[in-house]
Structure 1
Amino acid sequence: MHKSWMLPFIVAGLAAIGVAMLGATITDLGPWYQALDKPDWTPPDPVFGIAWTVIFALAAIAGVASWRAAPNTRVSDTIIGLFALNGFLNILWSLIFFRMQRPDWAFAEMILLWLSVGALMLFCGRYSRLAALALLPYLAWVTIAGALNWQVIELNGPFG
């Protein structure tokens, strides 16, 4: 069996690790974050790392599955572009929320992130049912994160 089938998994895995590392580097759980009032149902901090690890692994699988099922270069390029946009929006949310300390702006950006996950599910799902299913936990987690973000605004605003 030819080993070239592994290359897309390696590339997708490295991309997911890159997005995760950038997001983790930007995320600051220091005094400002600790001082925020958060809803009682906020998961413990370690849950976030576990959830994101699983989500990024599943996103890498979804990316490879849909890319390999793409019928032509135009579709495969669109898939890569949609994942790149999603990675950018994921990192941008951390930057706005944690570094700029603007949960209000981060919530608006979170809507774009949520829509990008939905777009990934719809577009990739045309070519791979596995891809759409693998992205479901991502959509669920971003929905929960959005609700948490909104509650932080409600409990602590106004910001800026």
Structure 2
Amino acid sequence: MPKETILIFDQEPHTRWILKALLESERYIVIALQDINRLKQNFKEFEISGLITEYWAGTQCMVDHIRELKKSFPDLYVMMLTQHEVEDKEYKRILTSGVDDLFIKPFSSEKILLHLKKGLRYRRLRIQKRKIEKELMRQRLIHHPNETRSL
């Protein structure tokens, strides 16, 4: 199975470098960016399995960008990094936008990898489940065409 592609979006070169080195050591394909327009373009050009992004990118909060990305890529695993603690209300807004995990910098490399692997495994299972359901529906249509029309 080919390794997944992980996109890292962070304004800090040091953070991008650390995450890129960490993920490449685990044999992930890694794209590291700091430009929001390039981020959106990469989703059109590549099959991105996971996104690691910061909470604030310059003057933009990434929460709304995540919400938009999840509309087009509902299975995308998203990890968000932030410099500061977030209030409970904002924490809820972040997680309901489609962010799967939230970490405060500085972060533990081990925890990043554990959560990333878990999130990507869950993503693969959702995709596999959808394929199986689609195949079951197709088989049902072939073998019982009258039964499924009433559904």
Scaled by the length of structure 1, what TM-score is found? 0.32
Q: Which has the higher strand share?
A: 2
TM-score, normalised via structure 2 length: 0.33
Higher relative contact order (CA 8 A, sep 6+): 1
| Higher share in helix | 1
